[in-house]
Amino acid sequence: MNRKKIIALWLFLLIPLTMMAQKDNVSYIVSKVTGRVEVITPQGKQKVEKGDVLKADATINVSFSGSMTLLAENGNKQYVINSPGKAKLASFLADKRNTVLTLTEDYVKSVVAQLRKEKTAKVRRHSDPATVTRVPAIKDSLFVVEIVKDSTMSEKPDTTQCQN
């Protein structure tokens, strides 16, 4: 019985540690950059560009007019960082002033593959479901109403549609 308790205790201790380790291993790929956004490395500042891969512990400097959009590579989240400042990427992601969108995993995988220029990306083309299809109006009757000079109405058969 003592052995089972020790194994259960180890499991309860190891599961949160492995989950935290997995969270730190998440990479984020940059899908859009506007303004001036830099990553600060020991070698100096480097401009962040579309397609760059960033880790959560990277130090980021976002200018006042700058913003960037990130996709979690192993998840279904899109982050739009538009709050200015200099901090770790994890701090920007936790900041409530920035936008977090939940997307489907298939969509995120296809966008990441396109950003990495992999040949496995599928491009599907669908029409917009909100488009309206308009059909030209069809005359319902075989008679056309004409206005005669004396302001009386007379009905004449429409001979343009009846010709066979």
Q: What is the pLDDT of residues 27-58, one digit of tens each?
A: 899 999 999 999 998 888 999 999 899 998 99
For residue 16, the surrounding DSSP H or E stretch is helix 2-24
Per-residue confidence (pLDDT) for residue 2, from 0 to 100: 81
pLDDT above 60 for 153: no
Residue span of the structural domain in which 38 resides: 26-115
List the single range of 65-69, 126-130, 150-154 with lowest mean pLDDT.
150-154
Please report, rounded to a whole number, the percentage of residues in the chain having pLDDT higher than 90.
26
Give the residue from 35, 36, 55 showing the smallest Cα distance to 46.
36
Whether the full predicted model's pTM is greater than 0.85, yes or no, is no
For residue 124, the Cα-to-chain-centroid distance in whole angstroms is 15
Q: Which pLDDT band, with edges at 50, 70 and 90, does 67 fall under? A: very high
For the cut 80, the answer to whether the pLDDT of residue 69 exceeds it is yes
Q: How far is the C-alpha of 35 from the C-alpha of 60, rounded, in Å?
A: 13
In a domain, 14, yes or no: no
Tokens, residue 157:
């058969």
Let me know if residue 18 belongs to a domain. Answer: no
Report the distance separating Cα 143 and Cα 66, nearest Å: 66
Residue 40 resides in a domain: yes
pLDDT exceeds cutoff 60 at 154: no
- Identify whether 102 is part of a domain: yes
Could you give the number of structural domains in the chain? 1
Residue 121 has pLDDT above 60, yes or no: no
> Looking at residue 134, what is its pLDDT?
57
The residue with tokens 């969509």 is 107
The whole-chain average pLDDT of the chain stands at 75
